Amino acid sequence: MSKSREEVAAMREEYGSRELRRADLNQDPFVQFEQWFSEARQAEIYEPNAMVLSTIGIDGCPASRTVLLKFFDEEGFVFYTNYGSAKAKEMASVALVSVLFPWLPMERQVRIEGAVEKVSAAESLKYFASRPRESQIGAWVSDQSSVVDSRALLLNKMAELKAKFKGGDVPLPSFWGGYRVRPERIEFWQGGKGRVHDRFLYSRGAELAQHWSIDRLAP
């Protein structure tokens, strides 16, 4: 076994720069998330809106990738993608996902689990119109998750579409839009000394859809 492999077992960072207590938490998980998200931005975490999206593959195997959060409110957490992508097909098959925000420099992570659904065409259009023009054209270029022979082919297609849309607005592709994750569980995790981490799980009540229970979990 190589030395680098052996060294992996010895890699360790000691947590415990802060604690998370029940009294620190807002009763509303969306308010709590907004507070932590704002603190991650203030701490200049690189891409604090980057989240690991996990889906259940059509073959039953889990699949994960990083996407960008683009909006959130009491209705859920929104991201955008190609409707023909692997993740879109997986979400169409099993409309349950998990999302993870790994804010490691702050010794924090937020885990969200729930159902996923497409946002309205109006919502997708509003966000698409706000994107940089090259990103708009990029949405047209990529038949996401399909096999391509070379990067040159993608760049050639990009040039063709730039010429096609020159002088006008780039329309919203019919195969591109947003998804909203409607959470049933949201967990806030704060690293602790000796690996005694602080974990609090918000869960929706079965009878009152707007009621959230909060439980401390063992680390």
Give pLDDT tens digits for 115-152: 999 999 999 999 999 999 999 999 999 887 778 888 99
pLDDT at position 167 is 86
The pLDDT of residue 157 is above 80: yes
Structural domain spans, the chain: 18-131+170-217
Contacts 24+ apart (CB under 8 A), 87-95: 87/53, 87/55, 87/63, 87/145, 88/179, 89/58, 90/55, 90/56, 90/57, 90/58, 90/63, 91/55, 91/116, 91/179, 93/56, 93/58, 94/55, 94/56
* Rounded Cα distance, 74 and 202, in Å: 14
Which residues belong to the active site? 195
- Contact by Cβ (8 Å): 67, 53: yes
The pLDDT of residue 100 is above 80: yes
The pLDDT of residue 175 is above 60: yes
DSSP, res 170 = P
Residue 111 pLDDT class (50, 70, 90 cuts)? very high
pLDDT at position 103 is 98
Residue 3 pLDDT class (50, 70, 90 cuts)? low
Nearest to 113 by CA among 28, 204, 34, 9: 204
CATH classification code of 18-131+170-217:
2.30.110.10
- Identity of the highest mean pLDDT range in 68-72, 145-149, 151-155: 68-72
Percent of the chain whose predicted confidence (pLDDT) is above 70: 96
